[in-house]
Amino acid sequence: MQYFVVMIDYGRRGREAVVDPEITRREVVFRIASGEYQNVSFIHEIAENSVEDVTEAILTEAALPQIPPEEVDLQAVRLDHTRDLRKHERT
């Protein structure tokens, strides 16, 4: 079994450990990127009998822009560029 423990620091109000065995790494990254998880103290990945601190890796991953492959239409980009070149040739 594998799961993540996300420790959130609320300052004077204390800290909260979010532990849900059904949350995947991708979901943890999404929740940090969306702002649902803020002030993260640490993130531990629990797998079988081992614990790994993955805080830095997940925070770095959450900071990168996520562009799903199906949203990028390379052919449309190329055609737009060609159209723009033709437009500038006329002027």
Beta strands in the chain (DSSP E): 2-9, 15-19, 40-47, 50-53
Identify the band that residue 67 occupies on the pLDDT scale cut at 50, 70 and 90.
low
Beta strands 50-53 and 40-47: pairing type? antiparallel
What is the tens place of the pLDDT at every residue in 2-61? 999 999 999 889 999 999 999 999 999 999 999 899 999 999 999 988 999 999 999 999
| 41 Cβ neighbours under 8 A, 6+ residues apart | 7, 8, 9, 15
Residue 74, pLDDT above cutoff 70: no
Identify the band that residue 70 occupies on the pLDDT scale cut at 50, 70 and 90.
low
pLDDT at 77: 66
pLDDT at 9: 92
Domain range list for the chain: 2-66
